[in-house]
Structure 1
Amino acid sequence: MFFNINILSLMLGFFFANILSTVPAQTGDWNIMSGAIIVTFNELLNKIIYKKKYINKILLLSLLNNIKIGIIYGLFVDAFKLGS
Structure 2
Amino acid sequence: MSFIQFDSKFNYNLTYLSIRLIGFFLGFFLSTALSTVPAQTGDWTIITGSLIVCLNEIISRIYYKNQFFKHSVFQISNCIRIGIIYGLFVDSFKLGS
TM-score (norm 1): 0.88
RMSD: 1.4
Question: Which structure has the higher relative contact order (CA within 8 Å, separation 6+)?
Answer: 1
- 1:76 matched to 2:89: yes
Aligned residue identity for 1:63: I
State the Cα deviation string for residues 61-84 of structure 1 (Å, max 9, x = none).
101110011011011111111111
More off after superposition, 3-12 vs 30-39: 30-39
- 1:24 matched to 2:38: yes
More off after superposition, 25-34 vs 3-12: 25-34
What residue ranges of structure 2 are gaps of 5+ in the alignment? Answer: 1-14
Whichever of the two has the greater Rg, that structure is: 2
Aligned partners of 2:31, 2:54: CA distance in 1, in Å? 15
CA positional deviation for 1:9 = 0.1
What residue ranges of structure 1 are gaps of 5+ in the alignment? Answer: none
**1:42-61 pair list within 5 angstroms:** 42-53=56-67, 55-56=69-70, 58-61=71-74
Q: 1:14 aligns with which of 28, 32, 44?
A: 28
Aligned partners of 2:94, 2:45: CA distance in 1, in Å? 17
CA positional deviation for 1:55 = 4.9
Kindly, what percent of the aligned residue pairs are identical? 51
Q: 1:34 aligns with which of 30, 43, 48?
A: 48
